[in-house]
């Protein structure tokens, strides 16, 4: 039974919603009343992003409704009953090196958000997927609200729903969207996950808590992006982003971008590593989102030695599994090519023409071989 259209529906207080989210384990939270004040401008920016093709192979972003409108552009398109959204934030800032810190040449980089693990009483740390961890917390908040207000329509999402989470979080007062297109919280920086609970409940919100843009004249993120994905302040061409290339892109990678990928084998942290707002962000103490130390600066040789069975065993329950075995192998080959180390040539030679490999992997291995051979010619 949903809230009656004829009765005066109860209103959800922002402070109550935030308190419930913090009790469930989130770092911060805020309530957004719908429609948001910037709904039209957000829709227009998203439409431009899709029309220019900057979403690449992420076709789910371009899904349209029966009227031909982009579903994600406005919350009321997929959820016409929605009157509020609870935006929840969870910090994953670990006490560990950054991708831009000095590291041995034979080491790769896995994005910080994918290091997560939880403590298992029997076997120590086990991989944890933040999607499942945060969804469970959202469900706890949702259940408590329904006990208090009665049944109402709702949907809980962690990166999986037709919702522009960063735009909604900005409108809810959880930060501003920086020049690197990441949401930046003034205390916790950008090392945060977002989760959203879309609700039929109206929100008792006196005024928006919008935090003004504090990027100022800083352009560190734009200057540091090695593939030129940040084409202008606040604008990203995802088809050039290393995170997109290593995770979402399944085909061969353009050689013009491969050199810029450096040692990244899953995701990329560079534009966040250089951001001044992350320098003083507190270390997260979330027991379900701890750091798997073996994933910090992982050995390329270790990653290359995995067969598909071992890959599944190590990364089952981890965000890393999303990239798939052969895409990870492709990324490792590119990182080897960028290492400059001749020690990787035999492995690449053995793998470059493997009949069981994907075309994308063979393309990457052959590119890496050419690069290493040119760098290691006899004097």
Residues 6+ apart with CB under 8 A from 104: 297
CA-to-CA separations, 372 to 162, 163, 252, 261, 379, in angstroms, rounded: 43, 43, 19, 15, 14
Strands 84-91 and 28-33: antiparallel
Q: What's the rounded Cα separation, in Å, for the pair 88 and 40?
A: 23
Which H, E and C letters describe 30-99, residue by residue? Answer: EEEECCCCCHHHHHHHHHHHHHCCCCCCCHHHHCECCCCCEHHHCCCCCCCCCCEEEEEEEECCCCCCCC
For residue 360, how many other CB atoms are within 10 A of its CB? 19
Q: Tokens in use for 69?
A: 């409108």
The helix (H) or strand (E) run that includes residue 272 is helix 270-273
**C-alpha gyration radius of the chain:** 22
Q: What's the rounded Cα separation, in Å, for the pair 28 and 352?
A: 47
Q: What's the rounded Cα separation, in Å, for the pair 300 and 367?
A: 17
Active site residue 223: no
Among candidate residues 38, 106, 159, 213, the one labeled active-site is: 159
Tokens 């290593």, residue located: 246
Q: What's the rounded Cα separation, in Å, for the pair 44 and 38?
A: 10
Q: What positions carry a catalytic annotation?
A: 159
């Amino acid at each position: 039974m949903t809230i009656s259209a004829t009765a005066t529906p109860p209103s959800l207080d922002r402070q109550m919603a935030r308190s419930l989210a913090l009790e469930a384990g989130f770092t911060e939270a805020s309530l957004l009343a719908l429609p948001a004040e910037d709904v039209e401008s957000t829709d227009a920016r998203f439409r431009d992003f899709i029309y220019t093709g900057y979403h690449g192979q992420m076709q789910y972003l371009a899904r349209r409704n029966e009227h031909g409108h982009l579903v994600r552009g406005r919350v009321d398109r997929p959820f016409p009953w929605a009157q509020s959204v609870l935006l929840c934030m969870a910090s994953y800032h670990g006490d560990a090196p950054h991708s831009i810190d000095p590291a041995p040449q034979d080491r790769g980089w896995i994005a910080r958000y994918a290091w997560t693990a939880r403590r298992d009483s029997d076997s120590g740390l086990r991989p944890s997927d933040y999607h499942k961890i945060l969804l469970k917390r959202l469900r706890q908040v949702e259940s408590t609200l329904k006990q208090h207000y009665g049944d109402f329509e709702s949907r809980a999402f962690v990166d999986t729903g037709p919702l522009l989470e960063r735009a909604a979080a900005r409108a809810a007062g959880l930060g501003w969207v920086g020049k690197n297109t990441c949401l930046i919280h003034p205390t916790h920086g950008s090392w945060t996950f977002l989760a959203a609970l879309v609700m039929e409940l109206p929100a008792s919100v006196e005024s928006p808590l919008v935090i003004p843009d504090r990027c100022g004249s800083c352009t560190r993120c734009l200057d540091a992006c090695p593939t030129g994905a940040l084409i202008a302040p606040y604008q990203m061409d995802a088809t050039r982003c290393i995170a997109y290339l290593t995770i979402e892109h399944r085909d061969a990678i353009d050689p013009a971008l491969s050199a810029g990928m450096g040692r990244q084998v899953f995701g990329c942290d560079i534009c966040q590593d250089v951001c001044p707002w992350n320098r003083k962000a507190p270390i997260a103490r979330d027991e379900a989102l701890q750091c798997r130390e073996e994933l910090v600066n992982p050995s390329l040789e270790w990653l290359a030695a995995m067969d598909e069975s071992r890959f599944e065993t190590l990364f089952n329950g981890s965000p890393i599994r999303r990239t798939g075995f052969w895409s990870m192998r492709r990324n490792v080959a590119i990182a080897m090519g960028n290492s400059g180390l001749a020690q990787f040539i035999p492995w690449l030679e053995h793998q470059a023409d493997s009949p069981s490999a994907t075309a994308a992997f063979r393309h990457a291995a052959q590119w890496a071989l050419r690069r290493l051979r040119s760098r290691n010619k006899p004097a």
